[in-house]
């Protein structure tokens, strides 16, 4: 009954917002330019998203398997532009659709496997952007920040509660050169407001695209983090700097993509640890029509006390979908991590009624400790994703991590997801 009631409420809300969207997107509205602030608001675009998901976790050391049925709802409004100004407000609402038989990292249910999707209602985004010309933008307020491949700074959008940032951001682009500076005052993490982090952090990136086969970029992330709930988070504060080279090229029927990154990390700000650690990654992919193959290697150094950390990155995308290695905002071990992985992707081209854009992905990982060379196990990741309509997508995903059951390797676990997403 609870699920049914929420479905009806969501249906009514979506119907109302759909009507507003059609009105805002009508030809008459599309051709008119806002005459003032009120007109810019009226000619805006609604944000309506629903994402129901089921997640099951079998985790060694936890007596009970986790089962989490959750629904994320986002409602918001983005205004039209007026004198280069554009505002956006978005509320995020996450609720369970059944019993809370899972460990959210907040509810104390440690007998169950971990599913980091607590119930929460919060302002996901509240921002004002100013773009006096196409090559310059300033964004103030609570905002989504996804830099590059999100390895170091990202929204962790895989979780139901997205990670957003209270920040001031400046972007500039002049020809083939681009640069971004961001000051981050607060990190709104995926665990709800109770485990957010205070921040006094500076982010700087710059890049130059010589041509499609060659782009060079550099970055510096001075992260000073703190948490009243977990004081040890201050030790995640760090200064990371490095460079990346990437590009792509088309040769006949084949497309080649590559990227390589190197970085160094030291203690910074309120960190109580004295360390210097390195990071290196390389990947190469080849695509021929619907088929793509990718080889990648990551090396995160560790010194026996801590490993190279990316606490503000979208961790789920790297080093295994099972998230077995995540601890306190880092995805590594105290002895570091080496991850050699291979991915095959097939875009099937299926175009049936209510079933299209079917993409199949398989990835295998082999892990070992960077400092000691110890075996840290392996993982198999599988995913199928597609569309029901242009607005509704689905996915089925499986991740299975099998380790040696010896520290610093994490506990074995298998995760299964079934999810849908509807966007207006």
In angstroms, the CA 37 to CA 199 distance is 32
pLDDT score at 32: 62
Instruction: Kindly report, residue by residue over 239-263, the tens digit of the pLDDT.
Output: 999 999 999 999 999 999 999 999 9
For residue 408, is the peptide bond before it cis, meaning its omega torsion is within 30 degrees of 0? yes
4 pLDDT higher than 50: no
Mean pLDDT over the full length of the chain: 91
Ranking 20-29, 290-299, 332-341, 413-422 by mean pLDDT, the lowest is 20-29
pLDDT score at 30: 42
Confidence band of 231 (pLDDT split at 50, 70, 90): confident
**Which residues does residue 364 pair with via DSSP β-bridges, in sequence order?**
342, 380
Instruction: Kindly report, residue by residue over 360-416, the tens digit of the pLDDT.
Output: 999 999 999 999 999 999 999 999 999 999 999 999 999 999 999 998 999 999 999
Spans of all domains in the chain: 2-423
Instruction: Kindly report, residue by residue over 17-61, the tens digit of the pLDDT.
Output: 333 333 344 343 444 677 788 888 999 999 999 999 999 999 999
Calculate the alpha carbon distances from 389 to 47, 157, 348 in Å.
18, 22, 17
Ranking 8-12, 25-29, 125-129, 174-178 by mean pLDDT, the lowest is 8-12
Nearest to 382 by CA among 368, 394, 395: 395
pLDDT score at 330: 81
Mean pLDDT for the stretch of residues 68-75? 98
Q: Name the maximum alpha-carbon separation found in the chain.
A: 66
Instruction: Kindly report, residue by residue over 91-104, the tens digit of the pLDDT.
Output: 999 999 999 999 99
Which CATH class name applies to 2-423? mainly beta
Portion of the chain with pLDDT greater than 90, in percent: 84
């Amino acid at each position: 009954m609870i699920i049914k009631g929420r479905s009806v409420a969501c249906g009514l809300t979506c119907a109302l917002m759909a009507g507003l969207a059609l009105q805002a997107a009508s030809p008459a509205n599309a051709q008119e330019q806002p005459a003032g602030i009120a007109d810019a608001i009226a000619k805006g675009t609604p944000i309506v998203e629903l994402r129901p998901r089921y997640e099951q976790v079998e985790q060694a050391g936890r007596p009970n398997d986790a089962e989490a049925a959750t629904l994320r709802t986002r409602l918001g409004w983005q205004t039209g532009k007026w004198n280069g100004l554009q505002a956006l407000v978005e509320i995020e609402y996450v609720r369970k659709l059944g019993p809370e038989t899972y460990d959210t990292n907040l509810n104390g249910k440690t007998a169950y496997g971990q599913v980091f999707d607590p119930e929460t209602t919060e302002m996901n985004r509240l921002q004002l952007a100013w773009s006096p010309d196409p090559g310059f933008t300033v964004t103030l307020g609570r905002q989504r920040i996804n830099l590059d491949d999100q390895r170091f700074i990202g929204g962790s959008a895989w979780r139901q509660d997205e990670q957003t940032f209270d920040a001031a951001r400046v972007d500039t682009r002049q020809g083939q050169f681009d640069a971004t500076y961001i000051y981050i005052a607060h990190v709104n993490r995926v665990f709800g407001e109770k485990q957010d982090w205070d921040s006094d952090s500076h982010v700087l990136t710059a890049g130059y695209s010589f041509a499609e086969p060659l782009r060079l970029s550099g970055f510096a992330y001075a992260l000073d983090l703190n948490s009243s709930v977990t004081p040890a988070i201050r030790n995640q504060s760090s200064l990371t700097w490095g460079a990346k080279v990437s590009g792509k090229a088309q040769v006949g029927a084949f497309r080649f993509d590559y990227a390589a990154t190197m970085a160094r990390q030291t203690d910074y700000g309120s960190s109580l640890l004295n360390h210097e650690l390195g990071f290196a990654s390389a990947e190469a992919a080849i695509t021929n029509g619907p088929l793509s193959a990718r080889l990648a290697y990551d090396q995160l150094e560790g010194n026996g006390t801590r490993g190279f950390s990316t606490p503000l990155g979208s961790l789920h995308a790297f080093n295994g979908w099972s998230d077995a290695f995540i601890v306190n905002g880092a995805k590594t071990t105290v002895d570091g991590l080496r991850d050699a992985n291979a991915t095959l992707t097939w875009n099937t081209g299926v175009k049936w009624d209510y079933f299209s854009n079917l993409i199949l992905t398989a990835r295998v990982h082999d892990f070992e400790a960077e400092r000691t060379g110890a075996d840290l196990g392996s993982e198999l990741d599988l995913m199928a994703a597609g569309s029901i309509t242009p607005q509704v997508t689905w996915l089925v995903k499986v991740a299975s991590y099998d380790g040696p059951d010896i520290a610093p390797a994490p506990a074995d676990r298998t995760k299964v997801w079934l999810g849908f997403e509807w966007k207006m």
